[in-house]
Amino acid sequence: METIKFDDWKKIDLRVGEIKEVNNHPNADKLILLKVDLGDKIINLVAGIKNFYSEEDLIGKKIIVFTNLEPATIRGIKSEGMLLAAEDSKNNIVSLLTTDQDVKNGSIIR
């Protein structure tokens, strides 16, 4: 595993976001489109979690979002950040990182 300097870690902006809307990706079977409320703005995310979560499971869920990641176009749709999740590929499990208390949208992760 590669190490990074603390100054590099401080550049990463992780925030709590609330999933407000979920839609199927028009050009991919395993991707979904999320609208996520970060408190001061709503961003669009493209995420490869369709096989692990239903729309009902996701609406209202508070997740951790890497907000200052360079935007990427994924299968023709712009993604403005990245949600964080733990992956256990041996057991085919993906688990979204979330908070254990109901904190305000946009709260900073330190």
Which residue did the predictor score with more confidence, 107 or 89? Answer: 107
CATH number, domain with residue 77 = 2.40.50.140
Residue 11: inside a domain:
yes
Residue 109: inside a domain:
no
Residue 108: inside a domain:
no
How many C-beta atoms surround the C-beta of residue 50 within 10 A? 18
pLDDT confidence band for 67 (50 / 70 / 90): very high
Residue 110: inside a domain:
no
Residue 105: inside a domain:
no
Q: Tell me, what's the pLDDT at 28?
A: 87
What is the value of pTM for the model shown?
0.93
Where in the sequence is the domain holding 34, given as residue range(s)? 6-96
pLDDT digits (tens, 9 = 90+) for 93-103: 999 999 999 99
Cα separation, 59 vs 98, in Å, equals: 13
Q: What is the mean pLDDT of residues 44-55?
A: 95
* Number of domains, the chain: 1
Q: Tell me, what's the pLDDT at 66?
A: 98
